[in-house]
Amino acid sequence: MRISAKGEYAVLAMLDLSQAYESDDVRTLDEISNDESIPHPFLVQILLELKRAGLVESKRGAGGGYRLSRHPREISLGEVIRLIDGPLLPFKCTMPSAETNECPHQGKCVMTSVWHDVRNAIEIVLEEINFEELSRRREHMNSPMYHI
């Protein structure tokens, strides 16, 4: 499985918005771009996709910006990655479509069941991790460590 730069940036943008959720603040493109080191033009595209999917909403005008449309605990990491990058394990034999008919080994390949197991394991992990959890992990990582 490979997550694109766009997928990684989308996760960072969602994480940024998750951390502002409780304060009901909107975040500007510049704030997200600067704080998360996401190229501005790339961020515009990503936020439009996230908005079309109903994950973020925007407020226009002075004091405008972006915010999550749902609570961070209701948005999984898997949902965002699939939205931006597509299927988690895009082997033809694991995709439920007519494309599986193109495989010359269909019905007699032991790897098909292995790829299904791998895809399912990845999906389980990515669905269990939501943006509330990611925000908590980030805060924990950024908190000062005191050693005696």
Q: Where are the domains of the chain?
A: 5-87+132-142
Q: How confident is the model at residue 98 (pLDDT cuts 50, 70, 90)?
A: very low
**Hey, what are 80's tokens?**
């965002």
**Hey, what are 53's tokens?**
């999917």
Q: How confident is the model at residue 115 (pLDDT cuts 50, 70, 90)?
A: confident
> Of 142, 135, 144, 140, nearest to 77 (Cα)?
135
> Of 58, 73, 56, 57, nearest to 10 (Cα)?
56
Q: What is the DSSP letter of 27?
A: B
Q: How confident is the model at residue 103 (pLDDT cuts 50, 70, 90)?
A: low
Instruction: Please give the CATH number for the structural domain made up of 5-87+132-142.
Output: 1.10.10.10
